[in-house]
Amino acid sequence: MPSGKFYDLGLTLVLIVLVAELAGSLANYSYPFLLPDWVGETYVWISLHHLFQLCLTIVVMKILRSGKLATWGFNLNRPRVSLQWILWFLLVFGSLEIIRLMSAYSSVVRDPITTSNMIGNQIFQYCLSGFGEEPLFRGFVMSFLTASWSRIYRVGNIEIPETIIIATTIFMLAHISIDWQTLSIAAFDIEQQIKALQLGVVYGLAFHYTGSLLAPIVMHGLSNGLQLTITYYFL
């Protein structure tokens, strides 16, 4: 099998698109059959999508690298460091999010505010959003590319591997809605892109310094869930 930086990067991009699109297709097909009474509740579809995406990511990991999933970040390495990342993130992000949401318009809430949507969306964001995305965008991308893209930049005492830059860029691109039939951008949210940039770097640093997906998964769930909780109950 040929190797090299750009081959690995190209393969990574192809696999991410395939995983995301196949997860979407599986969610589309299974949604009406598994949960016919819940069609119309958007959080159900996205929950299925993220569950399928997690499963497909694990399949890709198993195919590309035999052995335990711990090598991809499914471990509890450095639990105290992970806990420190989570607590600092909760304090800093929570405070900034309260200020941001109370001082300006936010597009966080897009669905009708009903009891089922409020409960369902919060369960998805807190419990599934991180599990569905962090293994793919941090665990897979950063672990797979670390051998060929090994340069590490330094900002003061902070190490920033170039895999974080790549993973964050892909993370941002994944939050742009693409119409694959016309190869055009269907939806682009600048606020979402800025947050994907900021949070992608933080999640990547947490993964780099711990070698575990624990902190990125929990922080991802907190970042998405807190936005809804603050918006639903305090605004």
Q: What is the 3-state secondary structure (H, E, C) of 199-223?
A: HHHHHHHHHHHHCCCHHHHHHHHHH
Q: Is the pLDDT of residue 235 over 70?
A: no
pLDDT at residue 169 in the model: 97
Mean pLDDT of the chain: 89
Query: Does some domain include residue 64?
Result: yes
Query: Does some domain include residue 26?
Result: yes
Name the residue among 56, 55, 49, 23 with its Cα closest to residue 35: 49
Query: Does some domain include residue 74?
Result: no
pLDDT band at 1 (very low <50, low <70, confident <90, very high): very low
Q: Is the pLDDT of residue 133 over 80?
A: yes
Print the domain residue range for 18. Answer: 5-68+80-234
Domain total in the chain: 1
Q: Is the pLDDT of residue 13 over 90?
A: yes
Query: Does some domain include residue 75?
Result: no
Query: Does some domain include residue 73?
Result: no
Tens digits of residue pLDDT in 46-74: 999 999 999 999 999 999 987 789 999 99
Q: Can you give the pTM of this predicted structure?
A: 0.91
pLDDT at residue 108 in the model: 59
Helix or strand holding residue 35 (H, E): none
Query: Does some domain include residue 227?
Result: yes
